[in-house]
Chains A and B, each alone.
Chain A
Amino acid sequence: MQRVLMKGNEAIAEGAIRAGCKGFFGYPITPSSEIAEYMARKMPALGGVFVQAESELAAINMVYGGAATGSRVMTASSGPGISLKQEGISFLAEGELPCLIVDICRGGPGLGGIQPSQADYFQATRGGGHGDYHIIVLAPSSAQEMMDFTMLGFELADKHRSPVMIMAEGTLGNLIEPVVLRDAVTEFVDKPWAITGCRGRQPNIVNTLHMPVELLQTRNQHLTKKYEAIRSEEIRSEEFMTEDADLILVAYGIMARIARKAVINARQLGLKTGLIRPITLWPYPYETLGRAARHCKAMVSVEISTVGQMIEDIRLAAEGKVPVHYIGEIGRTPNPEEITQQLLAIAEREGLR
Chain B
Amino acid sequence: MSQEQQVLFAGFGGQGVISMGQFLTHLAMHTGKEVSCALSYGAEMRGGTANCLVTISDEEISSPLTENPMTAIIMNLPSLERFEDKIKPNGTLVLNSSMVDRLPQREDVEVLQMPVNMLADQLGTARVANMVLLGAFVEKKGLMDIDQALDYLEVVFKGKKESVIAKNKEAFLVGVEYARKEWK
A residues apposed to B, CB below 8 Å: 3, 5, 30, 114, 171, 174-178, 254, 257-258, 260-262, 264, 333, 335-338
Query: Which residues of chain B from 93 to 134 have a CB within 8 Å of any chain A CB?
Result: none
Count residues on chain B whose CB falls below 8 Å from chain A CBs. 19
- Residue from the list B22, B34, B66, B67 in contact with A176, Cβ < 8 A: B22
B43 near A175 with CB under 8 A, answer no
A-B contacts, 24 listed (Cβ < 8 Å):
A3-B29, A5-B25, A30-B43, A114-B43, A174-B38, A176-B37, A176-B38, A176-B39, A177-B35, A177-B37, A178-B35, A254-B64, A257-B64, A258-B65, A260-B62, A260-B63, A261-B62, A262-B63, A333-B65, A335-B65, A335-B67, A336-B62, A336-B66, A337-B67
Looking at the assembled complex, report how far the CB atom of A167 sits from the nearest CB atom of chain B, in whole angstroms. 18
Interface centre among B25, B43, B65 (most CB of A within 10 A): B65
* Complex alpha-carbon distance, A254 and B61, angstroms: 12
Asked, given contacts A5-B25, A5-B26, A176-B25, whether A258 binds B38 with beta carbons under 8 Å apart, the answer is no
Assuming A176-B36, A177-B64, what are 18 further A-B pairs, CB within 8 angstroms?
A: A5-B25, A171-B65, A174-B39, A175-B36, A176-B22, A176-B25, A254-B64, A257-B61, A257-B63, A260-B63, A261-B63, A262-B63, A333-B65, A335-B65, A335-B66, A336-B62, A336-B63, A336-B65
* Complex alpha-carbon distance, A178 and B34, angstroms: 8
B68 within 8 A of A: yes
Residues of A close to B29: CB separation below 8 A: 3, 5, 178
Residues of B close to A336: CB separation below 8 A: 62-63, 65-67
Residues of A close to B26: CB separation below 8 A: 5
Interface centre among B25, B61, B67 (most CB of A within 10 A): B67
Residues of A close to B22: CB separation below 8 A: 5, 176
- Residue from the list A30, A114, A177, A260 in contact with B36, Cβ < 8 A: A177
Minimum CB distance partner of A259 in chain B: B63
Interface centre among A254, A335, A338 (most CB of B within 10 A): A335
Query: Which residues of chain B from 50 to 70 have a CB within 8 Å of any chain A CB?
Result: 61-68
* Complex alpha-carbon distance, A343 and B35, angstroms: 27
Looking at the assembled complex, report how far the CB atom of B54 sits from the nearest CB atom of chain A, in whole angstroms. 9
Looking at the assembled complex, report how far the CB atom of B95 sits from the nearest CB atom of chain A, in whole angstroms. 23
* Complex alpha-carbon distance, A258 and B68, angstroms: 14
Looking at the assembled complex, report how far the CB atom of A330 sits from the nearest CB atom of chain B, in whole angstroms. 15
* Complex alpha-carbon distance, A87 and B39, angstroms: 34
Minimum CB distance partner of A114 in chain B: B43
* Complex alpha-carbon distance, A347 and B22, angstroms: 39
Looking at the assembled complex, report how far the CB atom of A179 sits from the nearest CB atom of chain B, in whole angstroms. 10
- Residue from the list B37, B62, B67 in contact with A338, Cβ < 8 A: B67
Residues of A close to B66: CB separation below 8 A: 335-337
Minimum CB distance partner of A143 in chain B: B36
Residues of A close to B64: CB separation below 8 A: 175, 177, 254, 257
Minimum CB distance partner of B54 in chain A: A176
Residues of B close to A261: CB separation below 8 A: 62-63
B38 near A175 with CB under 8 A, answer yes
Residues of A close to B36: CB separation below 8 A: 175-177
A257 near B39 with CB under 8 A, answer no
Residues of B close to A264: CB separation below 8 A: 62
Those 6 A-B pairs whose CB atoms lie nearest each other, nearest first: A261-B63, A335-B67, A176-B37, A337-B67, A261-B62, A260-B62
B68 near A337 with CB under 8 A, answer yes
Minimum CB distance partner of B33 in chain A: A178
Looking at the assembled complex, report how far the CB atom of A253 sits from the nearest CB atom of chain B, in whole angstroms. 12
* Complex alpha-carbon distance, A338 and B29, angstroms: 29
Looking at the assembled complex, report how far the CB atom of B103 sits from the nearest CB atom of chain A, in whole angstroms. 26
Asked, given contacts A5-B26, A335-B67, whether A257 binds B34 with beta carbons under 8 Å apart, the answer is no
* Complex alpha-carbon distance, A338 and B67, angstroms: 8
* Complex alpha-carbon distance, A231 and B107, angstroms: 57
* Complex alpha-carbon distance, A262 and B67, angstroms: 12
Contact with A along B1-35 (1 / 0, CB 8 A): 00000000000000000000010011001000011
Looking at the assembled complex, report how far the CB atom of B144 sits from the nearest CB atom of chain A, in whole angstroms. 16
* Complex alpha-carbon distance, A170 and B120, angstroms: 34
Minimum CB distance partner of A336 in chain B: B63
